[in-house]
Copies of this chain bind each other. A is one copy, B any other.
Amino acid sequence: MIETFETVAKAIADPNRVRILKLLECGELCVCQITAVLDLAPATVSKHLAMLKTAGLLQQRRDGKWVYYRRADRDLNPYAPRFLALVGASLADDPTTANDRRVLAMVNAVPLRTLCDQGRSAFTTKE
């Protein structure tokens, strides 16, 4: 019980994982899109996503080569919904959150193929 609680609490206790949760409030995203916004190594993002999934906060869906993550709708962890609600009610006016959303808009403007090929430079070097 308390171990289950701990798993979710620890999952929330990292700023990059919270950024991921805030991003996914706008809808599901592919790993390469999340990677582009966070500006971290793919391996790092993948591990964060795995932890959030283990904590029951996220669910996974594969579509061809791409893997999409979204906020969990079924509750695999009894504490997950409460934590998701808490994150949802927090950081609405946080600068990092706001900036991530701005970057996400640029990411969304680029086709997935281009994004995977060129990574961040697909939109940062776009005058």
* A91 CB-CB contact with B under 8 Å: yes
Contacts of A13 in B (CB 8 A): 6, 9-10, 12-13
| A21 CB → nearest B CB, Å | 11
Contacts of A15 in B (CB 8 A): 2-3, 5-6
Known contacts: A12-B9, A18-B6. The answer to whether A79 contacts B83 by CB under 8 A is: no
A86–B94 alpha-carbon span in the complex (Å): 21
Which residues in A have some Cβ–Cβ distance to B below 8 Å? Answer: 1-3, 5-6, 9-10, 12-15, 18-19, 79, 82-83, 86, 89-91, 93-97
25 contacts between A and B (CB under 8 A): A1-B95, A1-B96, A2-B94, A2-B96, A2-B97, A3-B15, A5-B18, A5-B90, A5-B91, A5-B94, A6-B14, A6-B15, A6-B18, A9-B9, A9-B12, A9-B18, A10-B13, A12-B12, A12-B13, A13-B13, A79-B90, A82-B86, A82-B89, A83-B86, A86-B86
